[in-house]
Amino acid sequence: MRNPIEAWRGSRSPFREIQQQMDRLMEEFSAWPVVELQPTDVITPRCNMSEDAGHYFLNIDMPGIAKDQIKVELNNNVLSVSAERKEEKKHEDEKKYYSEISFGSFYRAMTLPLPVDEKKIEAKFENGVLHLTVPKTETGKAKQIAIH
């Protein structure tokens, strides 16, 4: 008579089945095509957002973008930033060996949690970073409620 553990090892082990399923999944995954960014792709710039009692502060990375190419809009408390970075013309005798820089449209939109004063938004662009200071309205500022 066989030991139950030996019998279990010789049968269809659930661990063996899981390993086979993982192997099949990895084979399928490795067959997927590699996607490279094309100039028509939309690039979502990285953003840091913070706030204090009266303002939202946003820093948005927009490397390689000229200040006059950036468009900032506010519509129904949705702040959107867009721009486009175009690829420079290549020289005829130039060979491209490696390219990781993305070209195309930059777009980022975020809904601000509280109403803001759109007339007082400040925008500054330095070293490839767009700095936005967005003042909250009086209705958007936190108010302490007195307890009686």
Q: What is the reported pLDDT for 37?
A: 46
Q: DSSP letters along the chain, please?
A: ---HHHHHHHS--HHHHHHHHHHHHHHHHHTSPPP---TTSEE---EEEEE-SSEEEEEEE-TT--GGG-EEEEETTEEEEEEEEPPPPPPTT----------EEEEEEEE-SS-B-GGG-EEEEETTEEEEEEEBPTTTS--PPPP-
Q: Say yes or no to pLDDT of 36 above 60.
A: no
The domains of the chain are located at 43-87+103-135
Q: What is the reported pLDDT for 73?
A: 92
CA distance 113 to 93: 52
Q: Cα 78 from chain centroid?
A: 16
CATH classification code of 43-87+103-135? 2.60.40.790
Compute the average pLDDT of residues 6-11: 58
Q: What is the reported pLDDT for 92?
A: 72
| Percentage with pLDDT > 90 across the chain | 24
**49-62 pLDDT tens trace:** 999 988 999 999 98
**66-106 pLDDT tens trace:** 899 999 999 888 899 999 887 777 777 777 666 667 777 88
The residue that leads in pLDDT, 144 or 19, is 19
